[in-house]
């Protein structure tokens, strides 16, 4: 049985950066609403600048660096995927539709058979 230990080391600077990210997001949203009388351009500028600044601060923190590493690894794995051709996709889609039709017919036939057995033969309600 293999056990893996995960060590999370976060410095006070990283905690301060994450707090700054949260404060920037809240400030940018508050600025958006507080600047409603200044016009849409000023509102959206305040929101976008605040969110871009918060994203920048997040990306220079340790959790942000780990996120960038995770995103790179995920993109590398996506590039390894062998995607089906258009012909294979169409064939598999037709197989699925055919299976759905066959299963629907089977369930309809089973339902009608059970209905006939229960209501006509056993209970005699349909005479």
Instruction: Say whether pLDDT at 67 is over 90.
Output: yes
Percent of the chain with pLDDT over 70: 91
Q: What are phi and psi of 125, to 5 degrees?
A: -80, -15
Per-residue confidence (pLDDT) for residue 92, from 0 to 100:
97
Instruction: Say whether pLDDT at 1 is over 70.
Output: no
Per-residue pLDDT tens over the stretch 71-127: 999 999 999 999 999 999 999 999 999 999 999 999 999 999 999 999 888 887 765
């Amino acid at each position: 049985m293999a056990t893996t230990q995960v060590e999370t080391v976060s410095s006070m600077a990283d905690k301060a950066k994450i707090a700054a990210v949260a404060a920037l997001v809240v400030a940018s949203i508050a600025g958006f609403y507080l600047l409603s009388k200044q016009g849409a351009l000023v509102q959206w500028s305040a929101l976008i600048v605040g969110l871009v600044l918060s994203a920048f601060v997040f990306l220079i923190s340790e959790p942000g660096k780990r996120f960038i590493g995770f995103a790179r690894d995920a993109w590398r794995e996506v590039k390894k995927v062998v995607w089906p051709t258009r012909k294979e996709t169409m064939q598999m889609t037709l197989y699925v539709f055919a299976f759905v039709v066959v299963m629907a017919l089977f369930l309809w036939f089973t339902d009608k058979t059970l209905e006939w057995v229960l209501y006509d033969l056993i209970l005699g309600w349909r005479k």
